[in-house]
Amino acid sequence: MNCIFCKIRDGEIPSKILYENEVAFAILDINPMNFGHVLVISKNHYKDILEIPKSEAADLFSAVQLISKSLTEALNLEGFNVISNKGEIAGQSIFHFHFHIIPRYKNDNINFVRSLKKYTDQEFQEVFQKINQHIKK
């Protein structure tokens, strides 16, 4: 498979692994939005967040939490964003599941587009119902 994250995992592409546990490994993004931008990548090849099995989700999340805490201490962060893009339209460019942890600094000029929409009461009810009916309880 021609997947850059699988190649990094297998050592075919050399890289510095910041951290790893049973299910995930973390590297610095080489095209960072801010210095310290980390990628936490699943060891198994899953396309995106919808493919992650429940059995791996907790350890993946704890890797994200641990790295976020370490980043905050190491780089004196005031905050950070944790993001996973799903689908090209959402900005996913490598189709092997990963979280971005993006350090935030005062005046760093990063703007995640915020286009806030407004529901009517009816629209809110409709959207809520539609989603709720698909949630498997």
- Residues interacting with Zn ion, by CB under 5 A? 3, 5-6, 45, 96
Closest CA relative to residue 96, chosen from 21, 28, 34, 8? 8
CB nearer Zn ion, residue 5 or residue 99: 5
Q: Is 128 left (phi over 0), alpha (psi -120 to 50) or beta?
A: alpha
- Give the integer Cα–Cα distance in Å for 57 and 24: 10
Residue 102 CB, shortest distance to Zn ion, in Å, is 22
| Catalytic option among 37, 96, 98, 100 | 98
> Annotated catalytic, 98?
yes
Across-strand partners of 83? Answer: 100
Closer residue to Zn ion, CB minimum distance, 4 or 18 = 4
**Minimum distance of Zn ion from residue 10's CB (angstroms):** 9
